[in-house]
């Protein structure tokens, strides 16, 4: 794959993550590049050179991606530079933790209690958020189990490495 093709893909991922998740464009670009770069582990300097970005921009993007468990730094014995690659946890479904949605429901119920005397139309947005969070917290464990079974089936058939 050409370097230009890699950068175009990285730019597409950067724009998507900026629009959808509010990531700084460099963090999304870095994520996209980490999916396609060769070798899959790169130093900060190598990433900066490939993405035409400063060391500080790459370091900031790595920090953000590490915080989201999407990238990780490792260091090979005897080397002075960290290497950055995709965190294996990033391939696990995100936001499938039902406890997160239970916490959301509790938080929204707190807000709903503040509006106890408010008209129904004023309470409606929070009431709907409570219902959604409760729905997700109940459904996601089964959906995660379904995903794992499907992934295992794809692996067994050779359609997924």
**pLDDT band per the 50, 70, 90 thresholds, residue 154:** very high
Distances (CA, A) of 87 to 27, 74, 84, 123, 144: 14, 10, 9, 41, 19
CATH architecture of 3-91: Orthogonal Bundle (1.10)
Lowest mean pLDDT among 18-22, 44-48, 97-101, 126-130: 97-101
Distances (CA, A) of 144 to 77, 97, 123, 147, 150: 37, 9, 32, 5, 10
Q: What is the pLDDT of residues 4-28, one digit of tens each?
A: 999 999 999 999 999 999 999 999 9
**DSSP secondary-structure letter at 88?**
G
């Amino acid at each position: 794959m050409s370097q230009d093709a890699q950068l175009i893909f990285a730019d597409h991922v950067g724009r998507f993550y900026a629009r959808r998740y509010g990531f700084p464009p460099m963090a999304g670009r870095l994520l996209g590049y980490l999916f396609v770069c060769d070798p899959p582990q790169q130093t900060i300097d190598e990433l900066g050179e490939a993405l035409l970005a400063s060391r500080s921009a790459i370091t900031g993007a790595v920090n953000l991606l590490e915080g989201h468990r999407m990238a990780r730094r490792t260091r090979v014995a005897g080397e002075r530079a960290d290497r950055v690659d995709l965190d294996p946890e990033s391939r696990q479904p995100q936001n499938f933790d039902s406890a997160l949605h239970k916490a959301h429901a509790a938080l929204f119920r707190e807000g709903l209690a503040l509006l106890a005397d408010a008209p129904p139309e004023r309470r409606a947005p929070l009431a709907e958020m409570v219902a959604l969070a409760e729905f997700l917290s109940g459904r996601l464990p089964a959906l995660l189990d379904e995903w794992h079974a499907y992934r295992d089936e794809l692996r067994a058939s050779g359609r997924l490495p």
